[in-house]
């Protein structure tokens, strides 16, 4: 691969895609980069082309028009619709699994069966498409219990029910009331796993992979893990809860059997495999698979790579990954998400954002839900608006740097969690 040989198209519009854009801007391999559709912040760094990311023929046509020779697909929806298959038919390499691999996220029923088939540790579960049968099953179960829509429900299709009544209501909402549409026409009822969660992100090229440092997201909207679930209010890496011993178990019992299983089933997986794990008393177990980088985890992980993330992605896509060549920086990265009023419910939009004049070295501002107004200002345009990132030799230094920058950003109704990384800080203080 030679310098300035890649003309890249990034598909998506969130914080994850902005982090990928920053990696492209920093990569010596990249000659040009376009984002589709992008957001208000990305517009000042790259050309952004409007497109519906779920319209596969439109994205392929755009890639051809632009004459790109590499596409990075950010979100799961176009992956599950076969965007990478279509690009590959047009001779354009793309980072992200084909439809056959994306089903690991698109169907929780498929991924549960896959885990069971390959003897990979996960919560016990049963599948239902009839509410009468599901309710009968609930009568034999203990609580809490987890009810999941099988299909893609934008991160909202999981209910942890504390008792029979709540579980029954969730089952009926999904199967009878179709509260998640067709994503909930099949559900899983799953054993509740107690423990601490962590995210394991792998850059996969068939059976070869680079494992990025473990990270931890903060899914609840409120401090102390209270309130409704969100797409993620902040993240940090590396996450110490994944001790070397846990990591060894993850590799032996989860990662290797998963990649072997994919191969055995004829799935040539290339792209990110995100393994959500629960660290239980019996060891790590799979909570879910996602087939793309986590958002906001991506924002802390790509900058921890000392190797060029674009080169790794390109090598995964083209079958030339050399895992031994991957290098990482020391220290810690954090991201604090600044959300709009109302998020994770209906978010207020259109508020002008005031930014700091200077951004100190080692910190950054990632745009998620923003747009540029006619007068050139940046306004809120989504639930998660910005991600404030920072590095530090220690986690507490990284957090100090991030929150110092957070204090200089303002928009009406802005809210964020003040306790990103707090679990690990407590752990560090107790050890
Ligand atoms: P998922 O979309 O499958 O990741 O589920 C969303 C969130 O629900 C996870 O991040 C966990 O916090 C929680 N969750 C899912 N499944 C379980 C389970 N079996 N036991 C405990 N918590 C779970
Ligand atoms: N941060 C969780 C996710 O991307 O699914």
pLDDT in tens, 173-201: 888 888 887 887 888 999 999 999 999 99
The predicted pLDDT at position 370 comes to 98
Q: Whose CA is nearest to atom 4 of ligand 2?
A: 294
Can you give the pLDDT at residue 154? Answer: 76
Per-residue pLDDT reduced to its tens digit, 12-61: 999 999 999 999 999 999 999 999 999 999 999 999 999 999 999 999 99
pLDDT band, very low/low/confident/very high, at 226 (cuts 50, 70, 90): very high
- Please state the pTM of the whole predicted model: 0.96
Kindly give the distance from the C-alpha atom of residue 232 to the centroid of ligand 1, in angstroms, as a whole number. 13
Instruction: Tell me which of 182-196, 214-228, 331-345 is least confident.
Output: 182-196
Q: Ligand 2 in contact with 247 (CB < 6 A)? A: no
State the pLDDT at residue 181: 79
Q: Is the pLDDT of residue 249 over 80?
A: yes
151, pLDDT greater than 90: no
Share of the chain above pLDDT 70, in %: 100
Strand partners for 47 = 34
For 72-101, how does the pLDDT look when each residue is reduced to its tens digit (9 = 90+)?
Answer: 999 999 999 999 999 999 999 999 999 999
> Residues 375-390: what's their mean pLDDT?
97
C-beta of 232 in contact with ligand 2 (< 6 A): yes
At residue 184, the pLDDT reads: 74
Q: Is the pLDDT of residue 431 over 80?
A: no
Percent of the chain with pLDDT over 90: 91
Cα 287 to ligand 1 centroid, rounded to whole Å: 6
pLDDT confidence band for 4 (50 / 70 / 90): very high
- The chain-wide mean pLDDT, for the chain, equals 96
Whose C-alpha lies nearest to ligand 2, atom 2? 294
Least confident of 66-75, 166-175, 215-224, 310-319: 166-175
Flag whether pLDDT at 165 surpasses 80: yes
Compute the average pLDDT of residues 218-233: 93
Does residue 76's CB lie within 6 angstroms of at least one atom of ligand 2? no
pLDDT (average), residues 389-418: 98
Best residue for ligand 2 mutational test, from 148, 232, 236 (most atoms within 8 Å of Cβ): 232
What's residue 428's pLDDT?
A: 85
Does 203 score more than 80 pLDDT? Answer: yes
């Amino acid at each position: 691969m030679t310098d300035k040989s890649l003309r890249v198209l990034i598909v998506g519009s969130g914080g994850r895609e902005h982090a990928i854009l920053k990696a492209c801007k920093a990569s010596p391999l990249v000659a040009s980069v376009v984002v589709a559709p992008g957001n208000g912040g990305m517009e000042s760094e790259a050309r952004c082309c409007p497109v519906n990311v779920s319209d596969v023929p439109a994205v392929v046509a755009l890639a051809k028009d632009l004459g790109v020779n590499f596409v990075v697909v950010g979100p799961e929806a176009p992956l599950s619709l076969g965007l990478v298959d279509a690009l590959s038919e047009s001779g354009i390499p793309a980072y992200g699994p084909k439809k056959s691999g994306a089903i690991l996220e698109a169907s929780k029923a498929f991924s549960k069966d896959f885990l069971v088939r390959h003897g990979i540790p996960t919560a016990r579960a049963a599948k239902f498409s009839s509410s009468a049968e599901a309710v009968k099953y609930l009568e034999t179960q203990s609580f809490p219990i987890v009810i999941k829509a099988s299909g893609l429900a934008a991160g909202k299709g999981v209910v942890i029910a504390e008792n029979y009544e709540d579980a029954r209501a969730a089952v009926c909402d999904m199967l009878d009331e179709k509260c998640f549409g067709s994503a909930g026409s099949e559900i899983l009822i799953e054993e509740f796993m107690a423990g601490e969660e962590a995210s394991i992100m792998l850059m996969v090229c068939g059976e070869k992979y680079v494992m990025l440092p473990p990270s931890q997201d903060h899914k609840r909207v409120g401090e102390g893990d209270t309130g409704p679930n969100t797409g993620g209010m902040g993240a940090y890496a590396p996450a110490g809860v994944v001790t070397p011993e846990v990591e060894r178990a993850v590799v032996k019992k989860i990662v290797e059997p998963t990649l072997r299983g994919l191969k055995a089933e004829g799935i040539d997986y290339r792209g990110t495999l995100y393994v959500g794990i629960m660290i239980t008393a019996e060891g790590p177990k799979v909570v879910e698979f996602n087939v793309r980088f986590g958002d906001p985890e991506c924002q802390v992980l790509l900058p921890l790579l000392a190797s060029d993330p674009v080169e790794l992605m390109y090598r995964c896509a083209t079958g030339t990954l050399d895992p031994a060549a991957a290098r990482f920086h020391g220290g810690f990265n954090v991201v604090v998400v600044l959300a709009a009023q109302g998020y994770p419910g209906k978010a207020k939009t259109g508020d002008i954002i005031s930014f700091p004049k200077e951004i100190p070295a080692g910190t950054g501002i990632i745009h998620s839900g923003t747009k540029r107004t006619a007068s050139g200002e940046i306004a809120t345009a989504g639930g998660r608006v910005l991600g404030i990132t920072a590095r530090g030799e220690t986690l507490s230094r990284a957090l100090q740097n991030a929150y110092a920058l957070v204090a200089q950003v303002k928009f009406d109704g802005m809210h964020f969690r003040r306790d990103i990384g707090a679990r690990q800080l407590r752990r560090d203080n107790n050890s």
